[in-house]
Structure 1
Amino acid sequence: MYSSIVRLQNTFGFFTTVAFAVACIIAASDLFSARTPSVGVLKTTNVQVVRGRPHYYSSKKEEYAIIRFSLDADLSSLFTWNTKQVFVYVTAEWPSAGGSGSGQNATNQAVIWDSIITSPSADHLANLGPVAMRKLRRSAAGKSIDPSRGRLSINNQRPKYQITHPSSKVANQEDVVLRLHYNVQPWVGILTWNPDEDFLKWKTLKGNLSRKFALPGLKKKDEGKTGTRS
């Protein structure tokens, strides 16, 4: 006769086996859901380079780039019944002066803006106020996935982060581009980023690269006053 402890162990083992099998099926279901995100507009609207200190007590000054941008993208196809939230971020990238042959990174990359888009079933996890929460619940009422989720329309967005370089110099940098990235965080399964190539029904993110632009030089202060007093 089996003891109560052995029976409990067998029941628990059977439950974990079934739960693991169901979790694998749920995770695999994402592979059969089409992901066709696209970007209509990704462009800079204002670019500045300023000098500042990395912290209050520092005597050293660094150059910081402030990049405003506009974005129009449709990431709604990333939301399925297994999507918990989507992490979206924009990076500024430019080539290193020395290149990969000098032992440096071939490309510099820095995040200038990011955002988390939750699915309706995960809205309670977002740090939202009561008014915004009521609007989200109202928009998602009766729908498994709100169609407006993942549709971004941003104009002249101020960056969340100013960017610099280990050399403390970014002024007059050429061949800078903005790139949009995403990271899908499912309820069950692994984190997935935007693929470089098409994979089954998952398509690459089209139009996520802006045109090349240059970081301007620092504004020089007027040296002395012009004109004389009579």
Structure 2
Amino acid sequence: MHSSVVRVQNVFGFFTTVCFAVAAFIALSDYYSPRTPSATLAVKDIQVVRGRPHYYSTKKEEYAHIRFSLSSDLSTLFTWNTKQVFVYVSASWPDASAPNKTAHVNEAVIWDTIITSPSADHLQNIGPAAMKKLLKSAKGNAIDPSRGKLELKNQKPKYQITAPSGNVANIENVVLKLHYNVQPWVGILTWTPQMDILRWKQVKGGVSKAFKLPAIKVKEEKKKAAK
């Protein structure tokens, strides 16, 4: 006869085994859900100025502001196991100081956002009015087809582009790219795939045309003084 303690341990061990098996099944089910994201990125306005890009900057340096337009459909990233999706846009350009410019690139994030699934709206740190609107749009569904559809026109960047050298003017072959990170309820974090993996496809589009950062924008007062 087993003691009560041994029986409790056996029941608890069986319970944890079942929970682990169910969690593994849920995590693996994501790989059978198709992911076919698509996006279009376009640059609208570019400015390069000299100053302190952050309030804590100790010296002046060149930094760039890039406005952009984004039209994306990331709705296929939302399944019953999706908690939230972290979406961000980065600017990348070849590293001129590297021997192999195609393999070494600089990259800086200029904008990001978090899109929660209806089942995770309560985790949003937003006001009551916005929360009420979110809950009303979700209507208690685990999956909302409209989630992940972004339409941004002439969007301001959240972050400026800087470089370790302090110089970003006249940089060529700069492109904007859309990235995402899917955070599931159960399983591992998944990032933007660089190749097709089973039913998961790469982002269709999601890369802007190459452009050049302009020269430093001179203030009108300095122009007048020069005259």
TM exceeds 0.5? yes
Which amino acid is the alignment partner of residue 204 of structure 2?
Answer: K
In structure 2, relative to structure 1, the CA distance for the partners of 1:55 and 1:194 (3 Å cut) is closer
SS in 2 for 1:216: coil
- Pair 185,57 (structure 1): closer, same or farther in 2 beyond 3 Å: closer
Cα 1:224–1:167 change in 2 (3 A) is: same
Letter in 1 for 2:173: D
Q: What is the CA-CA distance between 1:147 and the residue it aligns to?
A: 1.4
Task: Identify the match of residue 143 of structure 1 among 138, 141, 144.
Answer: 141
Q: How does 1:1-230 map to 2 (within 5 A)?
A: 1-39=1-39, 41-53=40-52, 60-101=59-100, 106-220=104-218, 221-222=222-223, 224=225, 226=227
What is the letter of the counterpart of residue 30 of structure 1?
A: D
- Tell me the CA shift for residue 60 of structure 1: 2.3
Aligned-residue CA RMSD (Å) = 1.7
- In the TM superposition, what is the alpha-carbon distance from 1:219 to its structure 2 partner? 2.6
Distance in 1 between the 2:190 and 2:26 partners? 15
Report which of the two structures shows the higher radius of gyration computed on alpha carbons.
Answer: 1
User: Partner amino acid for 2:38?
Assistant: S
Report the alpha carbon displacement of residue 213 of structure 1 after superposing the two structures with TM: 0.6
| Alpha-carbon spacing, 1:77–1:7, altered in 2? closer, same or farther (3 Å) | same
Shift of 1:53: 2.3
Cα displacement string for residues 175-221 of structure 1 (whole angstroms, at most 9, x for unaligned residues): 10000000000000110011111111111101011000111111343
> Cα gap change, 1:161/1:13 in structure 2, threshold over 3 Å: closer, same or farther?
same
Identify if the C-alpha distance between structure 1 residues 109 and 139 changes in structure 2 by more than 3 Å, giving closer, same or farther.
same
3-state SS of the aligned residue for 1:72? strand
The secondary structure found in structure 1 opposite 2:2 is coil
CA deviations on 1:82-118 (whole Å, 9 max, x unpaired) are: 000000000000001122459xx71000000000000
TM-score (norm 2): 0.93
Letter in 2 for 1:35: R
Q: What is the CA distance between 1:4 and its match in structure 2?
A: 1.7
What TM-score, normalized to structure 1?
0.92
Identity among equivalent pairs (%): 66
2:49 is paired with a residue of what secondary structure?
Answer: strand
Give the Cα separation in 2 of the matches to 1:118 and 1:38. Answer: 19
* AA matched with 1:33: S
Measure the CA separation in 1 of the matches of 2:56 and 2:193.
43
1:43 and 1:205 mapped to 2: Cα distance? 15
For this pair of structures, how many residues does the alignment match?
A: 223
**How many Å apart are 1:58 and its aligned residue?**
5.5
Question: Which letter maps to 1:165?
Answer: A
